Amino acid sequence: MNLLTVLLLSLLSAKSLGALSNNTGVNQIDLKKLLILALPLIIKYMTNNSQSQSGLSSLFGALGAHQNRGSVESQIADADTEDGQKIIGHILGDDKDQVVDELSRESGVDAGDVLNVLGTIAPYIMSGLSAATESAQSQQAAPAGGFDLGGLMSMFGAQPQQEPEPAAPSSVDGSQLLNALLSMMK
């Protein structure tokens, strides 16, 4: 099972949906539709953002700042929605309003509620990605001062197009990791 599936299934569990519904006021049926549409889109935007060095640095910084390892439902119930709104703003950038409107049309959920839901789940998504990255790094022997992206990608079930040389974090293309996540959605 790939990381996107794990994140999505954890958000779609009865307990998680209950906590999200209680936190946002959106009914669980609409939440399911919204989450199925939104999560792959968020990952896609994260992938696009990580193709620049500043986007990659921002992603790694955010992953380091979001290391809550509590249950999904507790993370949702206790979500810092202000932080979540900032995360969504960074991920979606100038497209935020357009994406929220599109998700609203496709899911039938009010645009204000879509934004609230995204802000509520964003810290959990970052914590989930952080945990997966941490787990992958602990399972591989990264060279001193380096980061073996190929080993990390293999943890997600993807193979890099060519075996990357171990590199310092400043020269790693983080889009490869997120592209690996996206490729597993097919």
The letter for the amino acid at 100 is: V
pLDDT of residue 139: 59
Q: How many CB atoms lie within 10 A of CB 152?
A: 24
In 3D, which of 35, 29, 30, 38 has the Cα closest to residue 9? 35
Question: Does residue 58 surpass a pLDDT of 70?
Answer: yes
Whole-model pTM: value is 0.74
Interacting residues of 98 by C-beta distance below 8 A, sequence separation 6+: none
Helix (H, G, I), strand (E, B) or coil at 172: coil
Mind listing the pLDDT tens digit for each residue in 151-185?
A: 333 433 333 333 333 333 333 344 444 544 444 43
Residue 150's pLDDT band, with cuts at 50, 70 and 90, is: very low
- Measured in degrees and rounded to the nearest 5, phi and psi for residue 157 equal 85, 15
Distance CA 170, CA 54 (A): 10
Length of the chain equals 186
Report how far residue 150's alpha carbon sits from residue 162's, in angstroms, rounded to the nearest whole number: 9
